[in-house]
Structure 1
Amino acid sequence: MALFSDVQLACSRLAPHGWHSLLLQHGLDITAPNLQQELSKPLSVDRALKGFEDFSPAGGRGIEAGRPAESLLYHAFASPNVLSTADGTQLTAFPTALEIEQLLNFVYGFNPPSMEMLSAYAGSAPLAIVVFAYEYRPRPETVHKAKADLCFSRTGVARIGTAPALYDAARRGFLPFVEADTQQMRVIPARYGAYIAMQKNGDSESFGPMSFQSPSDANLSFWVPIHKLFNGKECLQGLDLTVHLENYQINEKIRQVHMMYSATGWQEPDILNYPFVITEGLCHWAEPTDMGTGLLVPDAKERLVELAHYQGQPLSFTMPAGTGGLLHGRHRVLDDGTIEDLNNVEGVDAIVRQGGYRTLHYQDAMADGWVRARCPELESYGLDKDSVAAYSIIGAPDFFPLCGQRELKAWSNDPNVFPCPAPPCPEVWHARVNPLSDVRYSINPALEGNYFAEEDRGVTAIVSLPLGESVSAQALTAPEVALAQRQSCLPDFASGVFGPGWEIGRGLIDKPFKEELNGYMLASPFTEDARICAALGSYWPGVAPDSTRTYEPRTVASSVIPMTDAEIGLSDAPSWDGLKGPVLVELEGRQVVQYQAYEYSDYTSAALKGQLSLAVTGHINTEQYHRRVLAMHRAYKAVGATEKAEKRLWSVLSFSIVQQPDEQLDAAEQEAGHSLEGEVMYLFLYKHGAISTPADDFKRRHVEIDTRVQMYVSQSALIAKEDDTPWHLRDESI
């Protein structure tokens, strides 16, 4: 048995690194001479051991055939929370991505079913070969939140970057950081696999989907995985399978510019060619002998944004008017061929809005497409030709890779945190928070192959394997379990708000508000949209930083998740976007706040210079993200700004996480007569007055200060001082 040999080798490798003693705590000896028999015997699972608190209450063997979440060995290998031995010391080695995939195949091949058995299990439900993106998750991140479990979606989200992917074995996944270079970011892959699946209407008690939308999901069809497909004779009784995964990706954002606007200087047939349409050099399959089959990896690029070339020359075009800031047009091509940086010209916004000049195109490596499976041996069962595709997204970088959209939506709509009765929560973000997994749109039918039907609206949903048992009270009352500290490739970590979007857009060229997802209704390149949404208080929460406080006060936004002084360049470390935040300066005997004007910021140019970074923001986990948002919310309330218009009268001059002991905090606490417990955040807000442009520098703005308020905020209390008044405890009950 090839599958068993692979598992046996993995157990032998890991046993001396703490895994033998750890699994013995449950009665499982991974060094037993007859390991296959050992994996079949009943165990006494100790769910008090760290990492096993959320192991399925129904699980009681090393391997439970066809049930990964009930197989103790698979949970131990795949859970990102299994990190230490029984005595609390760190395990000294962890399963590789290949070993986890081999073990998953072994779970399904331990007692393989026949096609007749699967058909009987599905009953009258249609069966098909379906491709899913999937990952094993701790209990709080699963469909039912009752146990650690596999989660599946017909949408996978990989992400672009400037460095190759790197598997973190302890986390059982990927992160974007490059330790030696803070301004590089790794690509993030997505894991796909082929399953025999049945089509059923949504069922909240069985497979979901996650965040069940009643009553609509009960009337919507979803594909539900029931058996994993893999090569060889051990997958299905009586069959020797060969499973092929096929991938197609396309980036046609530059082409859509010339489809939407006339008189740009380009039309068909030119715009059918590269780089107007890009289908090569976007991604590749990881080597199966390293990562197992089905890991789709974006190709790392030298820069997140690159100058586009056509027919051996830089690609220029006539800038159309009124693009809404979603098309880069700040590098003007003069008659003699030289390039003028319009960021150095006063009134650049008006020039770009008016258009009518030659400018350069820049391309990114984002794309959308599909992953399909072929298995010729299943043709006689009518499955191969009708295989169902997964939607494959290669999205923009996620500057908060440890924070999921689903978690933020659930938290921001918790009445115990924010007094908002229903989404969207008007007191927190400027746009509603919605994960892509909660969107019920169809997929662009014009993608090559026409594999997505208009009525197929469950593609981005997340489902589980059908539940074989009811959700037990034991699972629901079990100890708290940590979230996975890695980047997810599933769509609850992507944005389902479109304006035009972060990872994916909505609409079609001829029908911009149509409820269809595609990759081309986005900014070209993505950095243009990143600039806008970051300056709108993280318009796409959980993926985009909040750069509002970097710029002069604007009537369109206020800070939501404040960035620290270090994160916006007010220390020796480089900022996340290459810019520096506001500083106090002396002007004619008074202090004013000096800003770099928003009008002259340019994230496309920053990306070309390699200045975009997620080295600092990327380490903010979900809990820390929550604390920042809540601190900003409370700070506005403390100055009496509860409505959006009132919040926009106040700007953040300084924000930091206090590193204790801190003399200034000690003095403030002593004066206020109150000691703050736990983590403390410092905020310096000011109510702004007139805004002016210095005569000697049109790229800067000077802002008058009307009122200053400094605050120290802990989880339980807030102390503040206004202008020169003493520090005092602020009553937050009103």
Structure 2
Amino acid sequence: MIDIETRALDVLRKWFAAGWAPVFARFNIEPDFNAPLDVLRDSLLQPVATLARIDRDDPLVSDLAPDAHAALCPNDPAKSIIYHVWAGAHPTRGLERPSLDALDVIENYIYLLGEREPAPDGPLVPMVLAYAYRNRAATAHRRHADMVYSRVAITRVGTRDARFVPAEQTWESWAGDGFRVTRARVGLFLCRIVDGVPAHVSVLDTVHGDARRSFVLPVRKLFEGARVPGSASPVRSIRFRGYFLGDKLKRVIDVSGASVPPTLDVTRAPFVNEARIEVPTGASGGDAGIELDVFDGACIVGPRPRAQLVSIAMQEEQIARFTVPPREWPPSLLRGHGIDAGNLSLNRHYTSLQVPSSKTRLVLETAFAQLEHVLPDVLDPLPKVRPRAAPEYANIRHRVEPDGRITVLGNTLPAGEYEAVLDAGGFEAAMFDDGVMDGAVWAVIDGVPSSAAFVLVTAPDFFPRADEEDLQVWSQTLPLRAASHRFKEGGPAPLSAGRFVPNLLLKDPWSGEPLFASTDNTVAALVSRPVKSADDASDAPKAAHFPRRAGGFLADSASNEFAPGWDVSYDELNGTYYYTTHGLGSPFPEDVKFCASANAYWPAASPDAARTFERPGIPSAIPMLDDELGFHPDSPHGAPDSKPGWDGEFGPFFQMRDGVAGVNSADIRRSDYVYNATQHTFASRVFDLSSEELIRRMEALRACIGVIPKAGSEMPSLTQYWIVRASVVRNAEADATHYTFELCVPDNDHVQPVMSDIVSSAAAAGYWRLWRPVSKRIKAECRFDGVDDLVPRAVRYASYDETIGAYGAWQEGERDERSNM
């Protein structure tokens, strides 16, 4: 006990001396660190006399709990003013904050001070949870800043070192020249199990049946020296353990039935990657690219930086590879036309290998998807009918030659031959390592293991300042904003609304026991303390607006769509669906291409590349701008040295061919995000776009589609219009004030392959392209009054006159009162 208190007071003494003393003096917190220990302790615990006069406009305390009253509050960091100021996601006027390990010491002291308080009735269970101290709007109860907990932690692969940003209380995603790895903080807590009624726990995204489900709510934090209620002695030792499993490549082989050369062993890396880690208090350790940094009652977990986001998978000196099976069903007579020619198959999706574990369920899922917008009350969201026992898509466009060289088929074979070679299969395709894994972290307390947190090591997030929760809440504000009206595929539902269990195949390698149970169906839920009924609106802090700014390692910043998924997919064991990453693409950029092209299937993680490729029947939902997609060298705004966009491809542009109006665009069958990743053009940038900016773009598109002459539907999810150009006018502060879209209706039945006039190398981005005729060309513009507006105030449009080659006069759109336009 003395050691914990001494360490905590040393932290306080150091940081008060580093410039914080006058800040806390404003709140009448002026501890005398030279006073006797009991006097100093009492001064930190006694009520602050001037707290009622705190200026709630001060960002340091604007969302402080209304009943916070002391520098430190036993058992409650949220009511501890010092902890709130140091741990909150707010600016600190240039003052440096204590590090995460120093905050861990303060947390431990807060709980140590409360160890004599009676514990709640009922059994208490030691568990490791992901946790964060969040501002008011990002908590489960949304009343004041507070701790938020989950049994799921999200970490992400990258090529640069991790960097924590104290002012935002999250990990930075972008280093300027590559993605940083991101990590998560998990802690050891003594928890009680409660049902989901509001009087017992606050749940961020409640779903039907939650009142009957069991949720985990911490009551104490555990650390060396802590006393467990009913125990005769304090905790003597804590060691954190981790186990991680990545077996996507083995599953491609097992589920598809493909063969590998006899010289490769599919039971070893890279087909199966495992990490087994054990780290004591105050140390760091790792294995197979995963690292644990252990403080005392908490640790930081996440991947180590990789040399490349995606690399050729090797086993000793051999390339990991498999023999590509031939295309299955249907016969060529039934294989479609235009851009979707040949896309109907049981084991192909465009030019990727599709690996369905159940072909019957694949057909059923496809039928449901076609009916989703016809029967939205029944099929929105789509029922989860097809678990992913293996990566949904696998790259097969990198042929391994007998001499070990790799031929990128999309860069070498002409139209017709390219598709025929991929259809026939029979060649060896290289496999790729992307570092994606499932994992668990738990603690061993005096030799007894706790329950574990589920840790995902998954793909980077291209929108680190936006999250699914924001978009989901906005979609529920008006019927016209419903996700089904915006997104032909996917949607913004957050993972925190999911109620599946963690990977049931993960076992403790020390004991052989399963780490999770089939009853753990609330692991993804985000919880905070229950809000008492007496805490009505008059007790809430007087603050006008709190953006969420949640940060990205808890489940509300991840996606709950699993077709197959961005952060996580799902599988089935004995009738129970469980979360896993082994259904994600092999490697993950293979998924990114298809789902970015499907109107950003996960809209707060994936840029919307629908207009890059123009897949029939899948219009854009959140338009990316021309400069974000990249100006092709052949386009009017391009140049011979134009750089590709975020994904290594170039955006579309209008182009006349033989006197016919058309559009030149990327070819989804040729595009290879995996190859682009090896050339460092995929993931070449991250987008500093907030949730509000994504919402503004959705609203701008919806407003424009609603006023221009109808083509298919006024709903963005069903319109026939293709956005070919998208630009923005900004004010002096670089905030968007006007969006302009140029749209047309494409003729997808008459697509022609074309090659660039300027790009000379077949292996270079932008060489292989598609061209198709278009009609009904139109331009629309919407304007926002202020930088904080989410809904445009005025819309106008102009039709293109082919005879003069220019747009006609602007026509004003009608104000839509139903959406506050």
**TM-score, with structure 2 as normaliser:** 0.78
Deviation at 1:22, TM superposition (A): 2.6
Q: Secondary structure of the residue that 1:133 maps to in structure 2? A: strand
Distance 2:9 2:717 in 1: 64
Distance 1:545 1:399 in 2: 7
Deviation at 1:615, TM superposition (A): 3.5
Q: 2:689 aligns with which of 606, 617, 620?
A: 620
The answer to whether the Cα contact below 8 Å between 2:134 and 2:550 also exists between their aligned partners in 1 is no
Deviation at 1:651, TM superposition (A): 1.3
- Match for residue 628 of structure 2? 567
How many residues get paired? 688
Q: 2:585 aligns with which of 523, 529, 537?
A: 523
The answer to whether the Cα contact below 8 Å between 2:728 and 2:736 also exists between their aligned partners in 1 is no
Is 1:38 aligned to residue 43 of structure 2? yes
The answer to whether the Cα contact below 8 Å between 2:704 and 2:780 also exists between their aligned partners in 1 is yes
Of 463-472 and 255-264, deviating more is: 463-472
Name the amino acid aligned to 1:441. Answer: F
- Match for residue 405 of structure 1? 468
Q: Secondary structure of the residue that 1:544 maps to in structure 2? A: coil
Deviation at 1:153, TM superposition (A): 0.6
Distance 1:6 1:615 in 2: 42
Deviation at 1:410, TM superposition (A): 1.3
Deviation at 1:430, TM superposition (A): 2.4
Name the amino acid aligned to 2:304. Answer: D
The answer to whether the Cα contact below 8 Å between 1:586 and 1:592 also exists between their aligned partners in 2 is yes
Of 459-468 and 40-49, deviating more is: 459-468
Of 304-313 and 706-715, deviating more is: 706-715
Distance 2:455 2:695 in 1: 30
Distance of aligned partners of 1:176 and 1:401 in 2 relative to their CA distance in 1, 3 Å threshold: same
Distance of aligned partners of 1:283 and 1:733 in 2 relative to their CA distance in 1, 3 Å threshold: same
Distance 1:444 1:616 in 2: 30
Deviation at 1:587, TM superposition (A): 2.7
- Match for residue 131 of structure 2? 134
Is 1:654 aligned to residue 712 of structure 2? no
Q: 2:170 aligns with which of 162, 169, 173?
A: 173
Distance of aligned partners of 1:481 and 1:175 in 2 relative to their CA distance in 1, 3 Å threshold: farther
Q: Secondary structure of the residue that 1:533 maps to in structure 2? A: helix
Distance of aligned partners of 1:225 and 1:695 in 2 relative to their CA distance in 1, 3 Å threshold: closer
Distance 1:645 1:425 in 2: 9
- Match for residue 2 of structure 1? 3
- Match for residue 202 of structure 1? 196
1:152-190 Cα deviation digits (max 9, x unpaired): 1111111111111012222222111113x2xx1000001
Q: 1:722 aligns with which of 793, 799, 802?
A: 799
Distance 2:299 2:20 in 1: 27
Distance of aligned partners of 1:625 and 1:574 in 2 relative to their CA distance in 1, 3 Å threshold: same
1:326-368 Cα deviation digits (max 9, x unpaired): 0010011234443221113224455435433211111110110
Distance 2:660 2:149 in 1: 60
Distance 2:24 2:541 in 1: 24
- Match for residue 223 of structure 1? 216
- Match for residue 680 of structure 2? 610
The answer to whether the Cα contact below 8 Å between 1:204 and 1:212 also exists between their aligned partners in 2 is no
Q: Secondary structure of the residue that 1:656 maps to in structure 2? A: strand
The answer to whether the Cα contact below 8 Å between 1:286 and 1:293 also exists between their aligned partners in 2 is no
1:373-412 Cα deviation digits (max 9, x unpaired): 1111xx7xxxx35x21111111111111121212211111
Distance 1:15 1:573 in 2: 50
Q: 1:459 aligns with which of 523, 533, 540?
A: 523
Q: Secondary structure of the residue that 1:680 maps to in structure 2? A: strand
- Match for residue 153 of structure 1? 150
Distance 1:240 1:636 in 2: 63
Deviation at 1:611, TM superposition (A): 1.8
Q: Secondary structure of the residue that 1:388 maps to in structure 2? A: coil
- Match for residue 667 of structure 2? 597
Is 1:104 aligned to residue 107 of structure 2? yes
Is 1:580 aligned to residue 650 of structure 2? yes
Name the amino acid aligned to 2:776. Answer: T
1:570-617 Cα deviation digits (max 9, x unpaired): 276652111111123343345532112121111111111222336341
Question: Where does structure 2 lack aligned partners over 5 or more consecutive residues?
Answer: 276-286, 328-346, 353-392, 509-513, 632-637, 757-766, 784-791, 801-806
Q: 2:251 aligns with which of 248, 256, 261?
A: 256
Deviation at 1:235, TM superposition (A): 8.0
1:103-160 Cα deviation digits (max 9, x unpaired): 111211123248xx43xx1x23x32111100101111111111111111111111111
The answer to whether the Cα contact below 8 Å between 1:11 and 1:30 also exists between their aligned partners in 2 is no
Of 98-107 and 338-347, deviating more is: 338-347
Instruction: State the superposition RMSD in angstroms.
Output: 2.9
Name the amino acid aligned to 1:98. Answer: D
- Match for residue 61 of structure 1? 70
Q: Which runs of 4+ in 1 moved over 6 A?
A: 234-237, 266-269
- Match for residue 537 of structure 1? 599
The answer to whether the Cα contact below 8 Å between 1:166 and 1:175 also exists between their aligned partners in 2 is yes
Name the amino acid aligned to 2:185. Answer: R
Distance 1:141 1:646 in 2: 29
Q: Secondary structure of the residue that 2:202 maps to in structure 1? A: coil
Q: How does 1:42-121 map to 2 (within 5 A)?
A: 42-43=47-48, 44-45=50-51, 46=54, 47-81=56-90, 83-84=91-92, 90-113=93-116, 117-118=118-119, 121=120
Is 1:547 aligned to residue 609 of structure 2? yes
Deviation at 1:647, TM superposition (A): 4.6
The answer to whether the Cα contact below 8 Å between 2:128 and 2:151 also exists between their aligned partners in 1 is yes
- Match for residue 355 of structure 1? 425
Distance 2:496 2:717 in 1: 34
**TM-score, with structure 1 as normaliser:** 0.87
- Match for residue 702 of structure 2? 633
Distance 1:375 1:661 in 2: 57
Q: Secondary structure of the residue that 2:778 maps to in structure 1? A: strand
Q: Secondary structure of the residue that 1:107 maps to in structure 2? A: helix
The answer to whether the Cα contact below 8 Å between 1:60 and 1:71 also exists between their aligned partners in 2 is yes
Deviation at 1:293, TM superposition (A): 4.0
Distance 2:419 2:71 in 1: 63
Deviation at 1:317, TM superposition (A): 0.9
Distance 2:717 2:89 in 1: 44
Deviation at 1:693, TM superposition (A): 1.7
Distance 1:473 1:646 in 2: 38
Distance of aligned partners of 1:595 and 1:431 in 2 relative to their CA distance in 1, 3 Å threshold: same
Distance 1:648 1:329 in 2: 33
Q: Secondary structure of the residue that 1:191 maps to in structure 2? A: strand
Q: Secondary structure of the residue that 1:566 maps to in structure 2? A: helix
Q: 1:370 aligns with which of 440, 448, 457?
A: 440
The answer to whether the Cα contact below 8 Å between 1:412 and 1:428 also exists between their aligned partners in 2 is no
Deviation at 1:14, TM superposition (A): 3.8
